[in-house]
A and B are shown apart, each in its own frame.
Chain A
Amino acid sequence: MDMGSYIVKRILLAIPLLFVISLITFVLINLSLLDPAVVVLQAQEVPQITDELIAQTNEALGFDKPFVIQYVNWLIACMQFDFGSSYVSGEPVWSLVGPAFLNTLKLTLVSSVFIIGLSILLGVICAMREGRAVDKSVRGLSFVLTAIPSYWLAAILIWYLSVKLDLLPTSGMDSFKSYILPVIVITVSYTGIYFRTVRSSMLSNMNEDYVLYGRASGLSERKVTLHILRNSLQVAVSIFCMAIPIVLGSTVVIENVFAWPGLGRLSVRSILNRDFPIIQAYVLILAVTFVLFNTISDVINAAMNPRLRKDL
């Protein structure tokens, strides 16, 4: 199968998945025992909630319609980036979620570049020097760093670099300097896991017959290593592609520590306020990002590995 039709097929396969995800998102939120009309009225700080008011709100927001119709209406609106209005402020959800998503995405992408770059670099170095001092010390250090809770590391860094030495801003998102601390914290907590994948993948490839045959054919060590790297990175590509949405979805702690105006902070605030439309949009956006990156990873893998293109 050529790459073009593979990509088309892969995208077509993602569509039903997106439908299922949207349905699950919608059902989960509606499973909540709270009456949405009451929540809206409470959020708007209406002094006395009467049955009449509840009925009015239900009608105004379409909560009185059958479940399926509510879902279809919501889905059609979502496709046009209309996620409804915040229960609390009444602003359109997208005007809150959109910019927050962009901020989190920026942080995630910058961190991912460092996570991926460092993981490949350390993974390759450790695999080439398996069992030697470099390998042992890098693995030992990564063990410690991965075990450190990110909020603790963040607090220490803020205290030392921002408060004591006054080198970097403590929080916010003003200049490129604001990126340094959160990126360090995110990179430290993920690199330790991902570089191990690269290392073990390199090691298992180094024991393959094609490496022996390459060497036995007189190929230079550089050429043999390139073959090993090419095959090892195939495993890593899928993991790295999934790392981006994983980081994206788990910046909640970091964003709260560094007061980063991103999706994580917004979602926590919305959960506390029971601002259902925002929570719904947050869950949906994350799920779509996962599907998107999963598709991208499959396509990259298929481009690198012809065996995967065979059947779909």
Chain B
Amino acid sequence: MNIVEVKHLKVWDANTDKVIIHNSSFQVKQGSCLAIVGESGSGKSVTCRSIMRLNKPWIRLSGTILFKGEDLNQLSEQEMRRRRGKNLCMILQNGMSAFDPSCVIGVHIRETLQTHFNWNNRESERKIISAMESVMLKNPQEILNQYPHQLSGGMLQRIMIALALVLEPDLIIADEPTTALDTISQYEVVEQLIRLRERMGCSMLFISHDLGVVQKIADEVMVMKDGAIVESGDIRSVFSKPEHTYTQYLVTTRLELSNHFRKLMQEGT
């Protein structure tokens, strides 16, 4: 069964008439993770925001986006809002700017949880604190009273994951969640994302241009270039036998890079 089914999605800018996504159809299977790979401007983020219906007002789209069988484009703004966060949860690229800089972290979390659940402050706090502990955040109580600039990008990323843990969404959309992080934080965040999937069995749409991370987390992959899907399929088959020249290019450059790195390491020893 598919949790998300996108059919003939076309997205364009109404101001400039530029087509951003031509004709894209794909699906995310229940419980599986689909990675979207591609260079900047290839339409990865726009695809995600189209599913969330959070594109800028002048960005228009046609086609259908089915989520658990219902067409998201047919929903009223209020019905759509109720699904955001609760059913469709987003994890953004840059934790540093994802929270209101003049409020402590707890404010966003409390507002979000009170939007979706009838919990009082104490209950919300208890749930988020245990979720934060499970993503290896130390002193969660203290973190809730800190401002975004007092925390690191990796911590903020894990706070978003913790929030997703409490919300228990059907689909998590992670828009380049590791791009802005250093290698160690990247590792921690990816570990937590994998554990999140194991624990909740939720589906995931994972955007990245880091093929290494994608190989670790995704079941299926879809390669985008200039607003079109050039190749898609099971992760192992795409990476071992890339058919499209662009995918071949991506995979070989990655291999060359890691070979080069390995050679350097050997020379060093």
Residues of B within 8 A of A209 (CB): 92-94, 97-98
Whether A16 is near chain B, meaning CB under 8 Å from some CB there, is no
CA distance A216 to B90 in the complex (A): 6
Contact of A217 among B94, B112, B147 (CB under 8 A): B112
Pairwise interchain contact A210-B83, C-beta atoms closer than 8 A: no
Residues of A within 8 A of B147 (CB): 306-307
CA distance A213 to B94 in the complex (A): 10
Pairwise interchain contact A216-B85, C-beta atoms closer than 8 A: yes
CA distance A218 to B87 in the complex (A): 10
- Total contacting residues, chain B, CB less than 8 A: 30
Pairwise interchain contact A304-B102, C-beta atoms closer than 8 A: yes
Whether B99 is near chain A, meaning CB under 8 Å from some CB there, is yes
Interface members, chain A 188-219 (any B CB < 8 Å): 208-210, 212-219
Whether A136 is near chain B, meaning CB under 8 Å from some CB there, is no
Residues of A within 8 A of B108 (CB): 210, 213-214, 217
CB contact under 8 A between A218 and B97, given known A212-B92, A213-B90, A306-B102: no
Instruction: Tell me which of A213, A214, A230, A234 has the highest count of chain B C-beta atoms within 10 A of its own C-beta.
Output: A213
CB contact under 8 A between A216 and B54, given known A209-B92, A306-B147: yes
**Nearest chain B CB to A286 CB, angstrom units:** 32
Residues of A within 8 A of B149 (CB): 306-307
**Nearest chain A CB to B60 CB, angstrom units:** 15
Pairwise interchain contact B102-A215, C-beta atoms closer than 8 A: no
Pairwise interchain contact A210-B97, C-beta atoms closer than 8 A: yes
Interface members, chain B 69-118 (any A CB < 8 Å): 81-86, 88-90, 92-94, 97-103, 108, 111-112, 115-116
Residues of B within 8 A of A220 (CB): 81, 115
CA distance A285 to B27 in the complex (A): 70
Pairwise interchain contact B84-A307, C-beta atoms closer than 8 A: no
Interface members, chain B 191-231 (any A CB < 8 Å): none
Pairwise interchain contact B100-A214, C-beta atoms closer than 8 A: yes
Pairwise interchain contact B100-A218, C-beta atoms closer than 8 A: no
Contact of B116 among A212, A218, A223 (CB under 8 A): A218
Contact of B111 among A216, A219, A234 (CB under 8 A): A219
Pairwise interchain contact B81-A210, C-beta atoms closer than 8 A: no
CA distance A113 to B84 in the complex (A): 40
Pairwise interchain contact B82-A218, C-beta atoms closer than 8 A: yes
Whether B52 is near chain A, meaning CB under 8 Å from some CB there, is yes
Contact of B102 among A212, A213, A223, A230 (CB under 8 A): A230
**Nearest chain A CB to B23 CB, angstrom units:** 26
Instruction: Tell me which of B92, B94, B111, B163 has the highest count of chain A C-beta atoms within 10 A of its own C-beta.
Output: B111
Residues of B within 8 A of A218 (CB): 81-86, 112, 115-116
| Interface CB pairs A-B, < 8 A, 18 | A208-B97, A209-B92, A209-B97, A209-B98, A210-B101, A212-B90, A212-B92, A215-B54, A216-B85, A216-B88, A216-B92, A217-B112, A219-B85, A220-B81, A227-B100, A231-B100, A307-B101, A307-B147
Nearest first, the 10 closest Cβ-Cβ pairs linking A and B are A218-B85, A216-B90, A209-B97, A218-B84, A217-B85, A213-B98, A217-B112, A210-B100, A227-B100, A209-B98
Given A210-B97, A218-B84; 10 other pairs, CB 8 A cutoff: A213-B108, A213-B160, A216-B54, A217-B85, A217-B90, A217-B108, A217-B112, A218-B83, A219-B111, A223-B115
